Amino acid sequence: MNLRFLLLICLLGLGPSNAATDPQAVLKAVVDNQRGGSLQATLTLNITRPERQTQLVLEVASDGNERAITWVKAPPREAGQAFLRVGDNIQLYNPTLKRVLRLPPSGRSDSFLGSDLSYSDLAGRDLEQDFTPRVEAESDTEITLELLPRPQAPTPYGKLVLRASKPGFVPREVLYYDQRGQAVRKITFAQWAQVGGRSFPTQVTVEDLLRPGHRTQMVYSNYRFGLPIPESCFTVRALEAGC
């Protein structure tokens, strides 16, 4: 077998699946999958604690980008509350006070309706803006990215490890590590809906790894993608009156 034939075999063996993967492009694809475009849906929040379990039902309308409005429908003691996010601004409507309050920076540490999500998470910045991705592992069916914070990125985490399935770079899991290498938080995605060629996770579970038994599961139902959302839905008036 001559040298030229050997070289041909090697080249055929490499193939497109072994071409260098652009981690930035992968990360963009993952984030695009999470956005899914404009959305109206019912969101069920199941909050698990060692001593109890709580369920909330929310109605959500989002333009898939910088704006989203959420109304709490159940249980009765929480119903009537509403949240409007425009960019990094969050405003809350309290039905008891009948007032709209702007969430101050100090309030962003509070948990969202007692869940494992914080208000900071709701107005969280894009992964692409704050992290530099690197391919940690890759196979034919899956890819793992290691995301390291950019200098002065507003994130307290040391790194994120993102696992996505191929093809399509559908997000499966994100592990948040502190700056000492310990995993402190895990988000897993499941039950994907196909939306215009993208896979939107309709089930998202957030686990606090520092507190066993603390978990929040978000399940989207009655979802409609791509419908135009009226501008009036993203106004302060819509918090109380709906849209």
Q: Which residues bind other proteins (CB under 8 A)?
A: 87-89, 104-109, 118, 120, 123, 125, 149, 151-158, 176, 178-179, 184, 210
Report the residue number, 101 or 210, with the smaller CB distance to other proteins. Answer: 210
Report the residue number, 80 or 149, with the smaller CB distance to other proteins. Answer: 149
Residue where the block lists tokens 């652009």: 22
Token pair belonging to 69: 């409005």
Report which of 214, 142, 164 is spatially closest to residue 185, judged by C-alpha positions: 214
Token pair belonging to 162: 């993102």
Q: Are 49 and 214 in contact (CB under 8 A)?
A: yes
Distance CA 225, CA 70 (A): 16
Report the residue number, 138 or 208, with the smaller CB distance to other proteins. Answer: 208
Report the residue number, 213 or 230, with the smaller CB distance to other proteins. Answer: 213
- Residue 202: CB minimum distance to other proteins, A: 28
Residue where the block lists tokens 């990215």: 145
- Residue 108: CB minimum distance to other proteins, A: 5
- Residue 131: CB minimum distance to other proteins, A: 11
- Residue 109: CB minimum distance to other proteins, A: 3
Cα 44 off chain centre by? 15
